[in-house]
Amino acid sequence: MENRTNEYNVCISIITPLYNGSRYVSETIDSVVQQTYQNWELLIIDDGSTDSGPQIVEQYQRTEARIHLIRNKTNLGPAQTRNRGIEAAKGRYIAFLDSDDVWLPNKLEVQLRFMTSAAAPFTFSFYEQIDEDGSLLKRMDYFPAKVTYRSTMKSNKIGCLTAMYDTLCFGKVYMIDIRNRQDYTLWLQLLKKVEFAYCIPEILAKYRIRRNSISSNKWKLVKYHWHIYRDIEKQSFHLSLYYIVNYIVLRLFRR
């Protein structure tokens, strides 16, 4: 496929954790291979899968040298698994794509052009939520043009599958090793270093909602956010309470 943005000519490292993802990983990989921007590497880190997911990745590797499979010796969890990918990344830009999500074909092209023209080192975009069968559930297309550390503490607008950051500005920044919301803590780290993360007002990806996942249990997420506010971001009790109330109102009860 022709690279439509050769003028940028920078490599984008895509971090994909894999754990028993055989059902969807082919669709995920295909969405990367079909990108209109072709200067990328796909780092798939297997976290001890017991299904055929790693073998599917190996089949792609036979014909696609830009795909790299990294195997954890033991199950490390999502944060350390993504961090192994970040550590191995050779690209200037770091992007994230889980093994059950998909990108639209112009995702990297649009995002890189925006980041280059706007000199924006940290960006995200609109996306769609889909169900396990790929049917549309909701369009996440109402985010503000930019977010700050403070606004993101109140309500996270940055979808992991749409985020990309420039290591030339930040260096390599890693996820904190917690069970859930590792990506959120990474966004907060980045937003301590720059004033804004900028939203590209286009739908560029599809996020799959899985039944019985931690992220689908809204009240469990309240507990995780409280832990982030108090123990990781070291906010006072009263300020943490302020943020958790905002989170509940803005996130849990919005239509």
For 243-254, how does the pLDDT look when each residue is reduced to its tens digit (9 = 90+)?
Answer: 999 988 876 566
Asked if residue 65 and residue 151 are part of one domain, the reply reads: yes
Asked if residue 200 and residue 124 are part of one domain, the reply reads: yes
Asked if residue 228 and residue 149 are part of one domain, the reply reads: no
Domain extent for 127: 12-210
Asked if residue 233 and residue 184 are part of one domain, the reply reads: no
Inside any domain, residue 5: no
Return the pLDDT at 214: 52
Return the pLDDT at 237: 95
Asked if residue 235 and residue 183 are part of one domain, the reply reads: no
Residues in CB range of 239: below 8 A, 6 or more apart = 229
How far is residue 132's CA from residue 100's CA, in Å, rounded to a whole number?
9
How far is residue 175's CA from residue 185's CA, in Å, rounded to a whole number?
7
What is the arithmetic mean of pLDDT over 127-133?
Answer: 96
What is the arithmetic mean of pLDDT over 53-79?
Answer: 97
How far is residue 230's CA from residue 241's CA, in Å, rounded to a whole number?
9
What is the arithmetic mean of pLDDT over 216-241?
Answer: 88
Asked if residue 197 and residue 222 are part of one domain, the reply reads: no
Asked if residue 113 and residue 39 are part of one domain, the reply reads: yes
Number of domains in the chain: 2
Inside any domain, residue 4: no
How far is residue 204's CA from residue 29's CA, in Å, rounded to a whole number?
15
Asked if residue 222 and residue 176 are part of one domain, the reply reads: no
Inside any domain, residue 89: yes
Inside any domain, residue 1: no
Q: Rounded mean pLDDT of the chain? A: 93
Asked if residue 242 and residue 154 are part of one domain, the reply reads: no
| pTM for this model (two decimals) | 0.93
Contact 206, 100 (CB under 8 A): no
Query: Is pLDDT at 225 greater than 70 in this prediction?
Result: yes
Q: Which two tokens stand for residue 93?
A: 């830009």
Q: Which two tokens stand for residue 196?
A: 């804004």
Asked if residue 203 and residue 108 are part of one domain, the reply reads: yes
How far is residue 10's CA from residue 110's CA, in Å, rounded to a whole number?
14
CATH number of domain containing 183: 3.90.550.10
Asked if residue 203 and residue 88 are part of one domain, the reply reads: yes
Contact 143, 151 (CB under 8 A): no
